[in-house]
Structure 1
């Protein structure tokens, strides 16, 4: 159980690019990073408007001279200090991820980046090589995979409690884009513009969360081919999609279905995962993150609760609140940031043995998410055709 004890040698000096007062995700990053004493927010380029960014940063307790107008100024300013940042989070629109991440790595700074990581696998591979050359960590904020019950599912699959996996069924939908984009805020506008969002909207924005979580739970399953059918129900969003269905065939013969949509009118936002094996099934939703449905064929169904001693050690190790109290998204983000901090600390101190077994969403996870998106787009653009997974 995580109890706030420091697990790294000193707090990481942390900065942010983006995540300012008007951003949607900045507070999630700060909630995650500042929980366990593993990060100290010391610098940032929080906003495109320098004055507003400085005002916001100082309100967070960042010194005014370390609230920068641009990420380039942040890199230059921190490089000139003996106590410059160790790591920077990139919480900006998709089209900026690659250039900012590359510049930070070239300056010797670890990076934590939003997803989808970049536009292409080629960019991911270039950044992975650069990070390896520099001896730096690139973390990716797949913020839902810190939930303890996600790791309970993974442990149950690994122990063979479900039997051979046959069916993978996943959904992440909401209705917040069910209307047209007239009067929409900047957060919607950039997400529906190919120049700023990349080749997808909901597939990249929320579908990659589903895909990565399935990789955590089912690491041995690999996609052999897929079919992606996507549509823009709001025509102005085309060629990007606000709704998509993906069918997948896996290397063991399993079949998968994934549904993402931002036009599921009336839905407030929910994820659902069901993994079906030859002997049993598990089902989990982020709307009830404390519970896991476990159903063995021929036996009464069970509802497993987080923090209980009957759970697997991997789940209990990720628990924060204990069985009596509710755990939520903030706790999951805290786990993700903690695990990335431990990876950075290990890299800084040359602890290669730790990194070989340590779990965290890194550059490989980000790359595989982009690879999945490329295959989805290739299938959809071919008229929702089956394609070999490349």
Structure 2
């Protein structure tokens, strides 16, 4: 199968594209509830029956789809991975019916459809079983794409905002000359730099794993990077849209489109809560948490420049808060834990880069970036409220006095 399809996917001319179809009405993030059934056909082929609720590769040449072979067990363990071509030799659909195209908030250039599979001809990938596990590598790359997508959108908007600030005059001065605007843009830029370094770290960890080295941190950073950078991308984009005033709200500038498109990075390949759950699952293996803690401690110990002192203390304090949660992870702390782990490592990476700039260029700008990023704290304050109290606030709200 690989010999047949990999050359088509990697061709320089007339290359094929592929989708991955997991999401169904019954199971989005919870793929174990997937209801698509696979029935055996002739010559080792299978036929898929069911619906896929969100397929963002409707114009692709092929797709990887999860389905449950008849008679297989329930849950995610009973799923298998299948490859199907979307078209038959005569150009007609391969047992597919498009119910409708989604009317989405953003990414409108990419058609997303609801599909019915009515006997679509498919072949199992690597035999039956282990369908979710076989998608793990693809999911990691897709999550990294979402993280770097947030980075790309913010970088675009930041470049526009910097240029605009040097040209737009307000109260007799350019925006760039107003202290309030300068500090505001600097804080946004510090978050952008934090997104850059975490994406680079994630890419390095993925590369190590792909070359046969220890991949413990690769899985962890894929989730942490996507969670942090996707969410930071939406925050930064919102701030940058505001920096243009009314012009940022007008469609013909292109800025609203960029803002809408960035939101999808928080949804595709796992929401923030799904990624926080994934971090919890990774931390069930004690070696994962140990590897993270050891990496932070090792790299903190390598910081030498006196200018890094305050940042070192800040990171050490954050790690002290994280260690108990890492060693005894609980669902009610999952988002706080994952977010804190991501931001703490971002602060560490920014401090490393700050030292490099000081040592090689005698440039203290990186120190300012790290301090700006860490100014609001790296680990969110804990919540001691009872489950019943949180339930009441979340789903009932506080009644206003009559």
Scaled by the length of structure 2, what TM-score is found?
0.29
Write 1 or 2 for the structure with the bigger share of helix. Answer: 2
Scaled by the length of structure 1, what TM-score is found?
0.30
